[in-house]
Amino acid sequence: MARFENGVAAEADLLIGADGIHSRVRHLLFGPERPRFTGCVAWRGLVPAERIAGLGIEVASHNWMGPDAHCVHYWVSGGRLMNVVCVAEHGDWTSESWTDKGDVADILARFEGWHPIVRGLIGAFPRPSSGRCTTAQPCRAGATAV
């Protein structure tokens, strides 16, 4: 039986708690646990198509891999926006927020020497956000609450 803050109760054979890194479900099942920093930071942004038209990016999902970093990008909103996520090792990051503002110059420095498409996407970020990548212990299959 699952009981929610609004008073609703539901009964099911299976409950999946997919409520993020600060999971209330995980806390209720296993007790408190602080997320652990993976050592990587992600910078994310939506780039308007007109800002990157000259890059000639095909309609496909792209994943660029390099030393200690990678960049994933793909079209969204019917081709009007490019979703871009750049991830790099950054062992001294302290903020847990996913809404911190990223600095384009810092991201470009982290991706120095990368392919012109990757650097062109980063340079076209209108307002990148940044956040550290965290992890928690996986839940056991079949875990139950008492």
Q: From the candidates 74, 110, 132, 140, which is the catalytic residue?
A: 74
Which of 44, 51, 110, 127 is labelled catalytic?
A: 44
Beta-sheet strands, E only, within the chain: 2-3, 9-10, 36-48, 62-66, 69-76, 81-89, 100-101, 129-135
Bridge partners, 46 (sequence order): 83
Q: Is 110 a catalytic residue?
A: no
Of the candidates 82, 94, 87, 65, which has an alpha carbon nearest to the alpha carbon of residue 125? 82
Strand stretches in 77-121, DSSP E: 81-89, 100-101
Lookup: tokens for 39: 């050592």
Instruction: Identify whether 74 is a catalytic site residue.
Output: yes
Residues belonging to the active site: 44, 74
